[in-house]
Amino acid sequence: MIIDNKLIKISAIILAGGKSSRMGKDKALLDVNGTSLLTTISHVAQQCTDEVYIVTPWSEKYRSIVPVECNFIKELSTFQGGLMAFSEALNYVKSDWILLLACDLPFLTVNEVKTWVNYLPSVSEKSMALLPKNEKGWECLCGFYRGNCQESLQSFISSGNRAFQTWLNNEIVEELKVENKQVLFNCNTLEDYYNISNF
């Protein structure tokens, strides 16, 4: 992908291996406006990056609902959290930048992500990630990580840690300014789902 006359390879990693315990049903398959959440986020990722990877233990369940070009990575550390899933994916994904996404972002749009992509050439070389921020900390599962972050991540996990926020708080991260905060909304509960279904 060429941005500001620079050739930058960007891959997307979509995490779709959670328990969906607060939802009570598989979030990836939830229908919003006639399309499943995983289908929607896969199409957004495909139009904004060079390649798309979906990390899940259940590739057979999802293969028919995503673009055929999407790659699946078998998640081995089932239900151990997004940080472990991301770490596993980095063994297979080699890019300058990685767009890491949760599968439950119903309002994320192609135009929004393409705007974000244009910020990448201006990110300091010292910064490991470009992420939105909220009142609780970084939006870990909707932003960009440098492809060479694996060494730092492996070291962090080896020390017995599993918390995304703790890892990021020990690294240099630039804030991705997002005007329309709605695009960062995660559909985590049945109440969330009913609200977006009636949006």
The CATH number linked to 11 is 3.90.550.10
Q: What is the dihedral of CA 124, 129, 132, 135, to 10 degrees?
A: -110
**Model confidence band, residue 70 (pLDDT cutoffs 50, 70, 90):** very high
Nearest CA among 150, 152, 136, 143 for reference residue 176: 143
101-133 pLDDT, tens digit per residue, is 999 999 999 999 999 999 999 999 999 999 999
Structural domain range at position 21: 2-197
> How confident is the model at residue 1, as a pLDDT?
86
For the chain, the domain total comes to 1
CA angle 191, 193, 194 (to 5 degrees): 65
32-58 pLDDT, tens digit per residue, is 889 999 999 999 999 999 999 999 999
